[in-house]
Amino acid sequence: MFKPAREMFVSLKGYEQRLLDWLKHHLFEEYEKEQHEESKLLSIIEEDTDEIENIYALIGQYAVNYLCKKSCKTSEQTCYLWVQEILCGHDIRCYEMFRMEKHAFFFNFVMN
């Protein structure tokens, strides 16, 4: 009916070892789960940070393009001197201001 004392002690010792092994195994699994969840959270935070940085960059670009206006194509010359400045300047600026190329401007207005 009852086990001898030595046999009980040995079986208890094995039980403690199995209990310790079980605890180590389950604690290690919990630790791994926590580490996995922590790494997931860190990756989500990194992704959010990247998105926020991109949003700030877009806001900055928008501000530079549309909010920080500075006047362009301002000349201190008037009338004849302004026309001369445009005609002596870059070809693209002449086309933008008069909607014609330099040679067409000279042919239509200066030669006639």
What does the pLDDT look like over 61-75, one tens digit per residue? 888 888 877 666 677
Please report the pLDDT score of residue 23 as a whole number: 66
pLDDT tens-digit series, residues 2-39: 555 454 445 555 666 676 676 666 666 766 777 777 77
> Taking the domains of the chain in order of start, what are their residue ranges?
1-69, 71-112
pTM for this model (two decimals) = 0.35
The first and second tokens of residue 110, run together, are 């200066």
**Rounded Cα distance, 48 and 99, in Å:** 48
Number of Cβ within a 10 Å radius of residue 17: 10
Q: What is the mean pLDDT of residues 92-104?
A: 88
Distance CA 5, CA 11 (A): 10
pLDDT at 21 (0 to 100): 72
Are 70 and 63 in contact by the 8 Å Cβ rule? The answer is no
pLDDT, residue 14, reads 62
